[in-house]
A = this chain, B = another copy of it.
Amino acid sequence: MSSTYLGADGGEPIGVAVVGAGYWGPNLVRNFQSSPAFQLRSLCDLDLARARTVLGRYTTVAATDNLDDVLGDPAIAAVAIATPAGTHVDVAQAALKAGKHVLVEKPLAANYADALGLVELARDCGLALMCDHTYCYTPAVTRIREIVRSGELGEVHYLDSVRINLGLVQRDIDVLWDLAPHDLSILDFVLPDHVRAVEVSAHGADPIGAGRACVAYLVLKLSTGAIAHIHVNWLSPIKVRTMIIGGSKRTLVWDDLNPSQRLAVFDRGVEVATSDELGPDERRNMMVSYRSGDMVAPALSEKEALGQMVAQFATAITTGAPSPTDGGSGLRVLGILEAASSSLAAGGAAIAVSGGRR
């Protein structure tokens, strides 16, 4: 029946397989099925029964536990990988070598070196390598990117992100590696290209004896001198997901748990007079003034992030143009995470970020 369907651009839909039927895989399955640009060919998992359960009783999509079947199928042009993080590099490498475009669940790989290998391999093969940084494709974050990069806020002075919740304590990674990739990929997505993290300090605690940090604070020094701070926490009974982006002209507040008003742009701030404008006495007393203007909450569309991300993957495959969350973005996130882990191990000492260029 698939041959009667055409993709979004009127061409044949792109054959795709999802690898990994765990926590995230079902979401990819659902969204690839909804996308006119793709034809979902199969779902692959080492646990065949799980793959079958995810597909359900009413499906025509094939389940398989053999990755080679997927990679050897010429009707499959793209592979979406949602396996455990430690296996990303192997599956992605095999897929790229088999000539498939690749979408990888965050993080791109378990470490910077592996990720760099993937980025280079994709580039050499001329294939799309994209990270599923889903948050970047929410209407809110897409709009934040527009607002920040248009200069509407002025120069970015500081960013403060909080992502706390009662979260699943992971067996293999700490809270930094579990949650901070979301914040870091958003920062990478919304900030202008010339702004990058140059130095990281991280502090953490493991108050429940889980064997890894369950509460962590990350301080980033950006190349412009601005500061970014990220608070991630698995132990909070209240859920908070806010980001403040303070600019020289305006400040943006994103509260992802307030669906009726996710974004607010405040025309308020502190202004410092330059010394030229002031006489000697004034300089002492009037250095700082306040601006108290209106707040605007921009209207947002209601598109599902994952659907947008899948559409972007199709565009990257079709046009060859890299997506804003391509392999390079996943690489930069890993560079910061590795520096953060080093800082955590060194009691919070500032560590330089490698590979921060964009």
Instruction: Give the interface of A toward B (CB within 8 A).
Output: 1-2, 5, 33-34, 39-40, 56-61, 157-158, 160, 166, 168-169, 171, 201, 203-205, 207-210, 214-215, 217, 219, 225-227, 229, 231, 233-239, 244, 246, 248, 251, 253, 257, 259-261, 264, 266, 268-272, 284-285, 287-288, 290, 292-299, 347-350
Nearest residue, chain B, Cβ from A59: B58
Once bound together, how far apart are the Cα atoms of A225 and B59, in whole Å?
53
Chain B nearest CB from A74 CB (Å) reads 20
A171 with B203: CB separation less than 8 A: no
Chain B CB within 10 A, most for which of A204, A238, A266: A238
Once bound together, how far apart are the Cα atoms of A157 and B219, in whole Å?
21
Chain B nearest CB from A186 CB (Å) reads 19
Q: Given known contacts A56-B33, A235-B158, A293-B299, is B219 in contact with A272 (CB within 8 Å)?
A: no
> Which residues of chain B are within 8 angstroms of A203 by Cβ–Cβ distance?
201, 219, 227, 229
> Which residues of chain B are within 8 angstroms of A284 by Cβ–Cβ distance?
171
A2 with B246: CB separation less than 8 A: no
> Which residues of chain B are within 8 angstroms of A214 by Cβ–Cβ distance?
270
B261 with A295: CB separation less than 8 A: yes
A157 with B272: CB separation less than 8 A: no
Once bound together, how far apart are the Cα atoms of A171 and B282, in whole Å?
12
Once bound together, how far apart are the Cα atoms of A57 and B244, in whole Å?
42
Once bound together, how far apart are the Cα atoms of A72 and B287, in whole Å?
40
Once bound together, how far apart are the Cα atoms of A279 and B45, in whole Å?
28
Chain B nearest CB from A214 CB (Å) reads 7
Chain B nearest CB from A81 CB (Å) reads 21
> Which residues of chain B are within 8 angstroms of A201 by Cβ–Cβ distance?
201, 203, 348
B350 with A350: CB separation less than 8 A: no
Q: Given known contacts A205-B227, A253-B237, is B299 in contact with A292 (CB within 8 Å)?
A: yes
Q: Given known contacts A58-B40, A158-B235, A251-B237, is B287 in contact with A169 (CB within 8 Å)?
A: yes
Nearest residue, chain B, Cβ from A60: B58
Contact of A169 among B33, B40, B160, B288 (CB under 8 A): B288
Contact of A257 among B39, B260, B266 (CB under 8 A): B260
Once bound together, how far apart are the Cα atoms of A101 and B268, in whole Å?
42
Once bound together, how far apart are the Cα atoms of A60 and B55, in whole Å?
12
B231 with A160: CB separation less than 8 A: yes
B33 with A290: CB separation less than 8 A: no
Contact of A296 among B248, B288, B294, B350 (CB under 8 A): B294
Supplied contacts A210-B270, A295-B297, A349-B349, 12 more A-B pairs, CB within 8 Å: A1-B57, A5-B57, A158-B233, A160-B233, A169-B270, A169-B288, A204-B227, A208-B248, A217-B219, A234-B270, A237-B295, A292-B299
A266 with B288: CB separation less than 8 A: no
Q: Given known contacts A166-B269, A270-B166, A270-B208, is B290 in contact with A294 (CB within 8 Å)?
A: no
Once bound together, how far apart are the Cα atoms of A123 and B333, in whole Å?
56
> Which residues of chain B are within 8 angstroms of A157 by Cβ–Cβ distance?
205, 207-208, 215, 235
